[in-house]
Structure 1
């Protein structure tokens, strides 16, 4: 089925409804047509308990109008605008720290996070987290190499709230994500006009302005517009702007008789530096981590202006220039629509969007662990003398080496600590179209059937240049180093000491079509049950370049560009089709009006993606279901929900069983490791708030789990990598009413993240860490807000990633990725 057919279904339904509404308006009584609008009443203030009792969630529900959170039979976290601001998320992925059962490694910056979901085995990126805007996935595949879904979304003041659904009925609806779904709901125009402007400054020379305005355009029509502009050098100052960009979002809503149509569009152009590991000292088998001499791990970065603009020797006569300032950026447009309407007992809804963007990665990736300049020289001499072609071209063996700084030419002492880091360039152009149509009807009393169809078409065009290792000092804002041997061999030139080791270019196409049916039965006032089944088919294809190696300057003495990977002009065509069935069944039992218990079981799946085609290399390997299986996951959970004046609690126990997922790891020398494993996990998630006295709220969120690998003898019984057994956040909030309707709010969060293993073999240990965040918000009436917030105020040295380019444990100097150090932000908001 083509995208145009799904688009036509949405537009046709919307147009017919608009026509009927217009006809109804034309035949309205004259006094009704001419009646002026009644003045909009100011919204009444509600306390936190009242708001929570009325919270409605729309993610994972069959009904487009949603269901009260307390009455839902699945695990879902809701975060409103104020909670988002109070959490001071460093990126879109960092929002997930507010959701139990999810661990987000957001230390790479705005983009490129690694996100782990309870018991789901994954090593990098976010294969089990879908990011949606207004209920539609931004890109139908949650993760590809050098892309994860949160990188396609930027937070600003146009976001009303976010819902994070974990497991539950998500295997049935939309893109069928069995893990977690982040659904960002945009603000829309309302009867009461509202606008705001917010100025923010802070650590790293942050300068940011956010704007929003929404309101009524004319009878039945509403609109909104907003966005941001921001520039900052970041907590880790590389000497050039880490983040520099802007975004604008608009919505247009038409209120219908028993329905609504909303169109939305967003344009983003944002450049974001991407941070990988920095030098550290590891002791006691990784249990103890300390700063590397002369390097502040909380604020330092190896990146500097000296290497900001670097060149890639792609082929003989082909040299390309890239800018580290572009980082893992986003240059994209999104256009979409939501349509919801009742027709004579039928509920019809349709959601579609179109994404078109560049998701390039221009970044540094650390390689081997730090070593002395003298040790590096010895390795370079041994390597050159051990290469017959280089030795023959030189005419004699090397006996010594000279190291000088690329800038200025001063000699580099043998005691100087140096590191090797690749400057990688990945160009990624992505497009997608998604559409979901649902039709519901109550066919028996209190029994509603929903039938739906989901379609997605998506493409990606990749050009990669991995490698280009550079030699530099192990210092903040590192200096590049040249090395020459006394037999004429040039080991590094302008710092470049290694060739491009992997340079595929490829283009891919994919489509997914799914149909599903869901039934919801309200047995009585206390019991509600639901079940659903989904059948999905995926078809993907791609053309991947064949690679050869060669010397870009035909000079064996310049060893830094020998054995450069490059396409040879031929391509391999690869394709695969898969089908799978998912189901869910759950129920909710009301204990009281505002408390309930629920139980749910589901079975879901994921499909192989474009990366599998590239990695497989041949059609026979692509078709091998043992090497490239279709992963399946079964989940079971029971939970309890309650809201009252004294406390609120959302607690659930879960069990997951995962079968057959392929892993890939790219090492510093270009070696690609592949493996297939399953996993099983059991745990409990909790979100609890206690209100012991007026204006004081004590909140505790987190989870405890134990998840292990299975089905692979190399990893069976090992803990699933990167996931802590225990993580929690304790967040007290105290409100102090002031005169003249003013208010002061004091808040903070103590976060505890348990120890983890960075790798599947459980050899790279990542110690536990604890952070402290504090904030104060002064509200001056309903117009002005002044906020001061600080994150990681205790400067905790916590690692979120070990050296992912090496295998096995390391002691002494290592490369690893730590938390950002202490950061302070201050903002002033004015509403109008």
Structure 2
């Protein structure tokens, strides 16, 4: 981790703050019941609020979605990113599994990963850059029963606080110990031989101290059968809380060690000009995968005489430790808040990335012969051209039928070693009656050590749990090695160090009992230093007749240095008018920015992205209904686009966009115990100043998506039951900026039932995608433009029909 002279100062300030109070008192009762006439509008939210105590949802002049742990469980998310399906304005592609999601927000022109999504834990970002290649924030967090609730803020004042995220901030609030001992134990099973246990226990130590411990462990073969555990690992969490007369201090730690299979595109059939999708013969898009034992353990060539041994079961997981501190103090008119955390660990990628469309083995062999005969060096070394080829299975041997469908897919290896420290301190005080000023500072120091070997194409059969194929020409030319038809096309060794320092101020003015105004600004400086390896094309063994390692990427031992230093200012202003206890309206404008991250700078994209957003919203609710509407407009400048194609070409571009839309979130309760909830959004977003793609729709994001969830609560003598179901509609969109890879709309149906037995027991059964819909989240991400050959293409579908059952005991 790169440490500058500012880091010891920030650490010293943080440490000095922690014991800066004395005297103890009873803590506020965290289990206090809500007032009988309270509504959703009375929910206290802390994300986006200038002061640590937060404010009521009705008084917040921005859009924020909240969910309790029970609401999270009802949504049955398959990953942290999948939970975002309950948030209007956010589009999360979680079909890849527990990690590696692509997440977009409000028509922002994201390229891949999740650059405009920050995941926080109790107000601190997990890793200051929201996205670096092969790592987005949601991959560093797992939802379990140690979560109290979650808040998701879109736009609003978020460019001012934290790491200045202009898109969406997901803030998970931890459960802590209180005055009364409490705990829970949950056992879960389900599709894919899932076995999972979650636990939590919190209790007081004495009148001044409390603690909590919890976490989860699970093993699952996955909804898609990988022939080995697709998800395996767990998490342990602990908190320690100290109460004072004027506030409290919490220290926490979370240790995550989780391995997750990562799924990319599979073969599909395109119908009606891309308006419909069918399964490829012999391949179920909802439950099958190319991954399997045949190439789980491989030796990958990375240089002359050098190989690395890898296990596909390592997947795209995380092995990280996270430690943090939360301090809130009230000095009577002066309020101090501090948040800091430190993260360290690894986030590797060991996954299969598909590329070109399937073809018959005979066709593939013809191309291999032609390519070899077109290279004079190969012909000369072999003593003449080839006229035929033989193909056999790597495992078990045996000839392969020339009519067998095959494709090539890359066994990509990305190792990341991460370190980061973040610290944010705020001081709020009352200038005059109705006027509150908050001033603060944010500091982040972070690093990433990257070792990449992209490419490593294998020749595979197109079938569930594909098999490798070896090919040799009749003139002795070896086309493959243990199924590998290529070596790395991009070898990288890079050391990145970043540092951000920001100062901010916000003014809250309660103009009258019903009118509230707030404004703020932020000045931030970012510095990045990096060492990046240089590479050139090489023949690893110096033998032209071994085609599988000719023209490979090889680091030459030299490095280029990179230095970046820039500063920017963001600002925001919002007005909230409470028309009545049941309704309020707000208006908000902000101007934020997004500094280039490590990979942008490596590719020469050193521009800062500028985002201007405008919002107006309505919040209304009572015993009969809740309704939240937000209309938004945004302009985006300086989008950096980057994509590795199937042949290793690194495509980069910079452009602009603009978007407008409507977010909606609500619930209707026409009679006792029955509710219908609705959430979703409509958006129109297009590229501007983006070359030939100007005027095209921003990639991936549906223009319309929504979820309708009816639920019915049934009081019974032996148990209380809650029945619920969700209908989801996702509109059509395009996978590429060229708008040539159309992704059709789809609908899914989920359902569940929860039974609450006595004071302690809860049983929950849920099913997802009950109609086994073929829904795509992306088409072929390794091809620019049209990606259909005949009627065959590659796309990434959602998971097929699945079920889950859990039993929980609370005490």
TM-score range, shorter chain: over 0.9
Task: Give the deviation of 1:493 after TM superposition.
Answer: 2.1
Task: Give the deviation of 1:739 after TM superposition.
Answer: 1.5
**Which position in structure 1 is the counterpart of 2:741?**
764
**Which position in structure 2 is the counterpart of 1:642?**
620
Is the CA contact 1:640–1:652 (under 8 Å) kept in the aligned structure 2?
Answer: yes
Question: For 1:35-57, what per-residue CA distance to the aligned partner results, in whole angstroms no more than 9, with x for missing partners?
Answer: xx99999855877x736243110
In structure 2, relative to structure 1, the CA distance for the partners of 1:119 and 1:38 (3 Å cut) is: closer
Is the CA contact 2:535–2:554 (under 8 Å) kept in the aligned structure 1?
Answer: yes
Task: Give the deviation of 1:219 after TM superposition.
Answer: 1.1
**Which position in structure 2 is the counterpart of 1:826?**
805
**Which position in structure 2 is the counterpart of 1:33?**
none
Is the CA contact 1:123–1:759 (under 8 Å) kept in the aligned structure 2?
Answer: no
**Which position in structure 2 is the counterpart of 1:623?**
none
**Which position in structure 2 is the counterpart of 1:260?**
248
State how far apart, in whole Å, the 1-side matches of 2:752 and 2:383 are.
67
Q: Which of 21, 24, 27 does residue 23 from structure 2 map onto?
A: 21
Q: Which of 659, 662, 678 does residue 637 from structure 2 map onto?
A: 659
Calculate the TM-score normalised by the size of structure 2. 0.98
Matched, 1:777 2:754: yes
Matched, 1:356 2:360: no
**Which position in structure 1 is the counterpart of 2:592?**
604
State how far apart, in whole Å, the 2-side matches of 1:638 and 1:38 are.
38
Matched, 1:81 2:69: yes
State how far apart, in whole Å, the 2-side matches of 1:482 and 1:77 are.
53
**Structural mapping, 1:39-438, within 5 Å:** 44=33, 50=38, 52-438=40-426
Matched, 1:701 2:679: yes
Is the CA contact 1:111–1:274 (under 8 Å) kept in the aligned structure 2?
Answer: yes
**Which position in structure 2 is the counterpart of 1:2?**
6
Task: Give the deviation of 1:3 after TM superposition.
Answer: 2.4
**Which position in structure 2 is the counterpart of 1:734?**
712
Is the CA contact 2:39–2:622 (under 8 Å) kept in the aligned structure 1?
Answer: no
Q: Which of 1, 10, 16 does residue 12 from structure 1 map onto?
A: 16
Is the CA contact 2:361–2:401 (under 8 Å) kept in the aligned structure 1?
Answer: yes
State how far apart, in whole Å, the 2-side matches of 1:391 and 1:46 are.
84
Task: Give the deviation of 1:524 after TM superposition.
Answer: 0.6
Give the gaps of 5 or more residues in structure 2: none
**Structural mapping, 1:614-629, within 5 Å:** 614-616=602-604, 628-629=606-607
In structure 2, relative to structure 1, the CA distance for the partners of 1:782 and 1:39 (3 Å cut) is: farther
State how far apart, in whole Å, the 1-side matches of 2:809 and 2:27 are.
26
Q: Secondary structure at the match of 1:234?
A: coil
Would you identify which runs of 4 or more consecutive aligned residues in structure 1 move more than 6 Å?
Answer: 37-42
**Which position in structure 2 is the counterpart of 1:535?**
523
Task: Give the deviation of 1:249 after TM superposition.
Answer: 0.4
**Which position in structure 1 is the counterpart of 2:768?**
791
Question: For 1:52-96, what per-residue CA distance to the aligned partner results, in whole angstroms no more than 9, with x for missing partners?
Answer: 243110001101010011110000000111110000000000111
**Which position in structure 2 is the counterpart of 1:808?**
785
Is the CA contact 2:534–2:558 (under 8 Å) kept in the aligned structure 1?
Answer: yes
Matched, 1:448 2:426: no
The two structures, once aligned, show a CA RMSD in angstroms of 1.5
State how far apart, in whole Å, the 2-side matches of 1:12 and 1:579 are.
29
State how far apart, in whole Å, the 2-side matches of 1:509 and 1:57 are.
34
In structure 2, relative to structure 1, the CA distance for the partners of 1:16 and 1:46 (3 Å cut) is: closer
In structure 2, relative to structure 1, the CA distance for the partners of 1:40 and 1:459 (3 Å cut) is: closer
Question: For 1:88-132, what per-residue CA distance to the aligned partner results, in whole angstroms no more than 9, with x for missing partners?
Answer: 000000111010000000011110000011120012100000000
State how far apart, in whole Å, the 1-side matches of 2:29 and 2:391 are.
74
Task: Give the deviation of 1:408 after TM superposition.
Answer: 2.0
Task: Give the deviation of 1:553 after TM superposition.
Answer: 2.1
Matched, 1:674 2:674: no
In structure 2, relative to structure 1, the CA distance for the partners of 1:42 and 1:493 (3 Å cut) is: closer
Q: Which of 658, 666, 670 does residue 688 from structure 1 map onto?
A: 666
In structure 2, relative to structure 1, the CA distance for the partners of 1:155 and 1:39 (3 Å cut) is: closer
Is the CA contact 1:542–1:613 (under 8 Å) kept in the aligned structure 2?
Answer: no
State how far apart, in whole Å, the 2-side matches of 1:523 and 1:44 are.
31
Give the gaps of 5 or more residues in structure 1: 26-36, 617-626
Is the CA contact 1:10–1:339 (under 8 Å) kept in the aligned structure 2?
Answer: no
Q: Secondary structure at the match of 2:774?
A: coil
Aligned length: 805
Q: Secondary structure at the match of 2:40?
A: helix
